[in-house]
Amino acid sequence: MSRRSILDWLFGKRISTLREEQHQIGPLAGVPVLGLDALSSAAYGPEAALTLLLPLSALGLSYIVPLSAVIIAILLCVYFSYRQTIAAYPGGGGSYTVAKENLGPRFGLFGGAALALDYVLNVAVGISAGVGALVSAMPRLLPHTLGLCLAILAVLTIVNLRGIRESGLVFMFPTYGFVITLGAVVVMGVVQSVASGGHPEPVVPPPALPAPVQAVGAWILMRAFASGCTAMTGVEAVSNAVPIFREPTVLSAQRTLTAIVAILAALLGGIAYLAHAYGIGATEPGQVGYQSVLSMLVGAVVGRGVFYYLTIAAIVAVLAFSANTSFADFPRLCRILAVDQFLPGSFAVRGRRLVFSQGILLLAVLSGVLLIAFGGITDRLIPLFAIGAFLAFTLSQAGMVQHWRRVRDHQPVYALLINAVGALATGITLVVVAVSKFAEGAWVSVAVIPLLVLLFARINKHYRSVAAQIETIAPLEMPPPQPPIAVLAAGSWNKMTQHGLKFALRLSPDVYVVQVKTETDNTEDLSDNWELLIANPAHAAHIPQPKLVILPSNYRQFFKPFLDFVLKLSSDNPKRDIVVVIPDLVMNHWYESILHNNRGAFLRTILRVRCPSRVVVVNTPYHLE
């Protein structure tokens, strides 16, 4: 297969810009593309909260329902906020855009940096959580943890490079499998629970709750609440990627968000209710007898049959592929930052399948490095994760509050109130998370986010400085009529040198043939046969004689004598262009060029940096058979 057909096979054929509409998606594909992160939260949010309530034993269980109610209420605030954000920013309005437009560019960069960090962490943490669940089910896969992580990363990267629609199709199966199986368990559990008057009989009883070791206090409830709030991460994904939806774009995006939040809220509420009804608490992670809350819950409701394993498999798949949301959003964030010149412009270039390929590749490389550095076990990265998510939430909601204050006349006041409540709640959560997890690693995020902001600012400063230096609206000034002076870098007399000299003679009446004689040149002096080979034919054709210059080099240097000659020639002829002609042998295979000294390439680099703008370099290619 040729290189092109391999690329076509792996990533799909190039798609024309004109066919963009055919590659946009609707809500059905939107949920797998943008909802996997949020939906997978149902698998770990309740677990995280219950783990913190563990010291309270059965009493803790009675708090899980009200805590979940508060979380779902905030989730609905966030939902209404982002619904409105989507309508207000149909070009894609993540925290970066909303904060920039409403709070100022510096806040926007903080939002962008927080999101960028989170998307990278989400890929590493999501994949490693899925693989972790898989290897705990099949312990003989344990030695291959890192390999499995990288394989999943590769699959995600390739599927996303193939396009948005393709990634929606591929991940539809695990996503809806998860929603249907876990949804069925929740419905069955609730029905049984209600039918039994609130005290259902578990099919497989969960382990007995340990004795309480701590009294209820505000701090423990607050921390449980903060941990449970991780269930909300990923909700903002849709608002960032509005343009991937087909017409009516805003409506499609809002429907997708509605579907994601509705499913998530139902699952969260159902799980909390069932945990209380069946008496299921968390077990100590890393201890013998550890079992996830969802595993106990599914076992209690439907027993350990085929359906149990189907549900657990769907949960594992959704965890592993929850990174897909980052793959949809991170490249779009990079694109917006690139358009605003905070990142190199190539991040705004759509690749062969209309996705921002460079952003996808950068995300794959960064998260791959994290996975390798942590050996595929990224638990220690989770505390880093929450800071970014809640900083982005808070900035976005605060931005929306400001937005409503500006457009107050046209909007009902409850819109502002919803966002204000959301901003307050997520802001408090941010502070709680930062304080309680600071020593566990959240300090890394606190340090990295400002550094990223600084990097963005420096990049922007560079681009603005370059633009200021090269911008002009002046019309062309007219060039002087003189032809350039040509300088040929010559070795021995061969077809390659001849080809270069012919080009130089066609270009200019003033040609210098320059040979640097270092001791190791076994090449003969060009002066030996100068008359015969060059001077006489030039005379016969009535063209001006080229001038031979032999530069001695007692210190066996090649570049310095040549550079000095060109610099002198340039200062002696301050009004003329100087074209340095370097004969260049083109090999058939790249590895053959290892065997040839790359003086030409070095010479070009040195002349480019050291000579004035009037000196240009031409390589005259001579192709071998």
- Please list every residue from 478 through 517 that binds a copy of itself, using CB under 8 A: 478-484, 493-496, 498-499, 501-503, 505-507
Instruction: Tell me which residues in 342-401 interact with a copy of itself (CB under 8 A).
Output: 344-346, 348-352
Nearer to a copy of itself, 247 or 592 (CB): 592
**Of the residues 538, 551, 563, 567, which one makes contact with a copy of itself according to CB under 8 A:** 538
Shortest Å distance, C-beta 606 to a copy of itself: 12
Task: From 140-148, 366-374, 434-442, 469-477, give the range in contact with a copy of itself by CB under 8 A.
Answer: 469-477
Nearest to 341 by CA among 458, 472, 450: 458
Using CB under 8 A, which of 459, 563, 567, 606 touches a copy of itself? Answer: 459
Cβ nearer to a copy of itself, comparing 216 with 585: 585
Kindly tell me which residue out of 21, 409, 540, 571 binds a copy of itself, with binding defined by CB under 8 A.
540
Query: Tokens for 306?
Result: 């085929």
Nearest approach in angstroms of CB 506 to a copy of itself is 4
Return the residue matching tokens 């949301």.
325
Alpha carbon distances (Å) from 67 to 267, 326, 386: 14, 28, 18
Residue 169 CB neighbours (<10 A): 17
Q: Could you say which residues in the range 291-330 bind a copy of itself, by CB under 8 A? A: none
CB of 481 to a copy of itself, least distance (A): 8
Q: Which is nearer to a copy of itself, 222 or 361 (CB)?
A: 361
Cβ-Cβ contacts under 8 Å for 292 (sequence gap 6 or more)? 43, 47, 133
Structure letter (DSSP) for residue 581: E
Least distance in angstroms from the C-beta of 403 to a copy of itself: 26
In whole angstroms, the minimum distance from the beta carbon of 158 to a copy of itself comes to: 20
Q: What is the C-alpha to C-alpha distance for residues 419 and 80, in angstroms, rounded to an integer?
A: 8
CB of 561 to a copy of itself, least distance (A): 13
For 485, the 3-state DSSP assignment is strand
Residue 486: enclosing H or E segment and its boundaries? strand 485-489
- The window from 78-86, 186-194, 411-419, 526-534 that contacts a copy of itself (CB under 8 A) reads 526-534
Encode burial over 606-617: b for 16+ CB neighbours within 10 A, e otherwise: bbeeebeeebeb
Region near a copy of itself per CB under 8 A, out of 70-78, 169-177, 308-316, 459-467: 459-467
Site for a copy of itself in 553-612 (CB under 8 A): 554-557, 577, 579, 584-586, 592, 594-597, 604, 608-609, 611-612
Q: How far is the CB of 424 from a copy of itself (least distance, A)?
A: 39
Q: How far apart are the first and last CA of the chain?
A: 23
Tokens 């911008």 found at? 471
Dihedral sign computed on CA atoms, order 373, 379, 383, 385: positive
User: Each residue of 250-286: b (16+ CB within 10 Å) or e?
Assistant: bebbbbbbebbbebbbbbbbbbbbbbbbbbbbbbeee
Candidate list 284, 519, 524, 525; residue touching a copy of itself; CB under 8 A:
519
- Nearest residue (CB) to a copy of itself, 287 versus 520: 520
β-strands 578-586, 485-489 pairing: parallel
With CB under 8 A as the contact rule, the residue among 218, 288, 470, 572 that binds a copy of itself is 470
Site residues for a copy of itself, 121-180, by CB under 8 A, read none
Rank residues 191 and 467 by Cβ distance to a copy of itself and give the closer one: 467
Token pair recorded at residue 496: 């390659």
Q: How many residues touch a copy of itself (CB under 8 A)? A: 90
